[in-house]
Amino acid sequence: MAHVTLVLGGQRSGKSAYAESLIGDGEAVYIATCEALDDEMADRVAKHRARRGDNWTAVEEYVNTVSALKANDGPDRPQLIDSLGMWIANLLGADCDVEVEVKILAQTLERLTSPVVIVSDETGLGVIPDNALARRFVDALGAANQSIAAIADRVVLVTAGIPVEIKGNSQS
């Protein structure tokens, strides 16, 4: 497994299931950045949990994702962050400096011994949002995707459940 893998895709593209498949059957950490604030989201979270096996330890961390990564670091303990987009939204909601937080994340990823898979929404395929907050989110997530892709060993785009490698080596 590559040290850092970024899995990009649109909504309902199959990116999370694909990212989980990269981990395998050993002990793994799932860092959830989405808080289930309504019934529909709670249902999505339940489906994600049901899909994963008993080998996963779930850590719910909506803002302090870097701390969660550090706390669960280990060479034989892969970690999966799902998703970078929700983390960015949470940072914006908490009025954090997103650019600084993404830089800290990238630096941390380079120092971890854990292999890490990161799921993120690809923002560049949709329409330009009609409000300032949504445009700020798209800009921040697009910049974050570029920063993480730059340090990632492997980047995969998932469309209609089909992974297409855009950076790296499938043998990593």
Q: Which residues contact 89 (CB under 8 A, 6 or more apart)?
A: 137
Q: Among this protein's residues, is 48 annotated catalytic?
A: yes
What is the Cα–Cα distance from 105 to 155, expressed in whole angstroms? 17
How far are the Cα atoms of 5, 12, 122, 168 from residue 164, in angstroms, in the given order? Answer: 13, 16, 13, 11
Which residue is it, tokens 């999370």? 16
Q: Which residues pair with 5 in a beta bridge?
A: 117, 154
- CB-CB contact of 162 with 21 (8 Å): no
Choosing from 8, 20, 48, 79, which is the catalytic residue?
48
Sheet holding 116-121, edge to edge: 56-60, 28-32, 79-82, 116-121, 4-9, 154-159, 162-167
Active site residues: 48
